[in-house]
Amino acid sequence: MKQITPPELSEWLADAGRDKPVLLDVREPWEYERAHIAGAQLVPMRELPGRLEELDQAKDIVAICHHGGRSLQVALFLEKNGYNKVHNLVGGVDGWSRTVDPAVPLY
């Protein structure tokens, strides 16, 4: 599992020559409604074990939460379940808002 910073993720998303990762937001629905990164797919952490089949193991997956703690746990869980292209967004949505896109609300 790799750690990725918000600026690194922003560069990746802007790079037309790279396949886009799956942005896996593992927060609760109320958090996602309040603030999220455009294009992120919401799968709350508690639901993930029952929804693994929704994730393509061949694709890069960036796990996202509020500050990076829950997403780190999810990234480790995904690796234990055979996902080899997993990244954790360090600083989460909060870091994204503070360093990449201030239009994403802080909470």
Which residues are known to be catalytic?
A: 65
CA angle 47, 52, 55 (to 5 degrees): 120
Count of CA atoms in the C-beta half-sphere (13 A) of 35: 18
Question: Where is 9: in which H helix or E strand?
Answer: helix 6-14
Residue 51 CA to residue 58 CA, distance in Å, equals 16
Measuring CA to CA, how many Å separate 41 from each of 17, 44, 69? 22, 10, 18
